[in-house]
Amino acid sequence: MVMFENLKILFHQGKQFIPDPTTVQIPGIFRGRPYISGEKVDETELIELCPTDAISSNPISIDLGKCTFCGECAMRFPEKITFTKEYKIATNERDRLIIKEGENKPVEVNPETVRKEIHRVFGKSLKLRQISAGGDNSCEMELNAANNVQFDMSRYGIEFVASPRHADGIVITGPMTKNMAEAVQICYDAMPEPKIIVLVGTDAISGGIFADSPAIDRSFLGKYQIDLYIPGNPAHPLSIVNGLLDLTRKLK
Ligand code: SF4
């Protein structure tokens, strides 16, 4: 009888994992890479409505490193801005996060500028230490989800570890508060070479809505090369998994 009940539950729940997180379609509502059409709109109004100054002019563009994916611009100017469901939006070059009017191409890692040792050393195994530098626990939860049974990032040999001594890279979330600045530096210094730096979420990439706050100290980021930017507010687990795979695996 118990077995029958268990089988009923299994049948009801269906498959509990995503067979291939690199090709799956996201069901339901999701804001991924935006598309900006050539329609003429009131540019001043469009630029001013953005809470994080993510929209610029000449040409109209959206900086995914600043965008909170609130959707306000697409709701007010649906003829101008639409959000696709494209979740592969991570890159190793900050400039590639800027989506320009009329452009409809993927945001990708540039294999030419990935540090050579990354493929060689981390191509089959990557251990990461996560540090929340004033984060609100949203990106942290999504990083956790990237390793759950559904997304199962560990199937690719990518896992989080407790100690920076065991880590190949640091994954930073949050806008980098002054109170966490020293902790981030200590964590980074404790890791053996070679090591990578990954920024996850709008707050980590640009400061987000806290960019002008006197309580943040982002000087750490100016000292080192950032190996991967994973935008989102919070970043989606599929953006996280695919970004890390694209960085560490040789692209075909
Ligand atoms: S979705 Fe992004 S670009 Fe649009 S208004 Fe919100 S923060 Fe600004």
Atom 8 of ligand 1: nearest residue by CA position = 50
Q: What pLDDT, on the 0 to 100 scale, is given for residue 246?
A: 96
The first and second tokens of residue 198, run together, are 């990954």
Q: What pLDDT, on the 0 to 100 scale, is given for residue 178?
A: 97
Instruction: Report yes or no on 156 lying in a domain.
Output: yes
Q: What pLDDT, on the 0 to 100 scale, is given for residue 133?
A: 97
Instruction: Report yes or no on 9 lying in a domain.
Output: no
Q: Mutual orientation of helices 138-146 and 237-248 as an angle, nearest 10°?
A: 60
Write out the residue range of the structural domain in which residue 33 sits: 15-252
Instruction: Report yes or no on 184 lying in a domain.
Output: yes
Q: What pLDDT, on the 0 to 100 scale, is given for residue 251?
A: 54
* Burial classification of residue 227, based on how many CB atoms lie within 10 Å of its CB (0-12 exposed, 13-18 middle, 19 or more buried): buried
Task: From first to last of the 252 residues of the chain, give the pLDDT tens digit.
Answer: 788 888 887 777 777 789 999 999 998 899 999 999 999 999 999 999 999 999 999 999 999 999 999 999 999 999 999 999 999 999 999 999 999 999 999 999 999 999 989 999 999 999 999 999 999 999 999 999 999 999 999 999 999 999 999 999 999 999 999 999 999 999 999 999 999 999 999 999 999 999 999 999 999 999 999 999 999 999 999 999 999 999 998 654
Instruction: Report yes or no on 30 lying in a domain.
Output: yes
Instruction: Report yes or no on 4 lying in a domain.
Output: no
Which of 73, 82, 209 for a ligand 1 pocket mutation test, highest count of atoms within 8 Å of Cβ? 73
Distance CA 237, CA 249 (A): 18
Query: Are 62 and 99 within 8 A, CB to CB?
Result: yes
Atom 2 of ligand 1: nearest residue by CA position = 67
Instruction: Report yes or no on 100 lying in a domain.
Output: yes
What's the domain count of the chain? 1
Instruction: Report yes or no on 6 lying in a domain.
Output: no
Q: What pLDDT, on the 0 to 100 scale, is given for residue 9?
A: 79
Ligand 1 interacting residues, C-beta cut-off 6 A: 49-52, 54-55, 62, 67-73
Output the CA–CA distances (angstroms, integers) from residue 243 to 9, 84, 100, 165, 200, in the order listed: 34, 17, 21, 23, 10
Which of 68, 81, 203, 210 for a ligand 1 pocket mutation test, highest count of atoms within 8 Å of Cβ? 68
Distance 61 CA to ligand 1 centre (A): 11
Distance CA 230, CA 200 (A): 5
Among the atoms of ligand 1, which is closest to the Cα of residue 62? 3
CA dihedral 150, 156, 161, 167 (to 10 degrees): -150
Distance 49 CA to ligand 1 centre (A): 8
Output the CA–CA distances (angstroms, integers) from residue 210 to 35, 215, 218, in the order listed: 26, 8, 11
Among the atoms of ligand 1, which is closest to the Cα of residue 83? 1
| CATH number, domain containing residue 119 | 3.40.50.12280
Among the atoms of ligand 1, which is closest to the Cα of residue 74? 4
Distance 68 CA to ligand 1 centre (A): 6
Whole-prediction pTM value? 0.94
Instruction: Report yes or no on 65 lying in a domain.
Output: yes
Q: What pLDDT, on the 0 to 100 scale, is given for residue 250?
A: 64
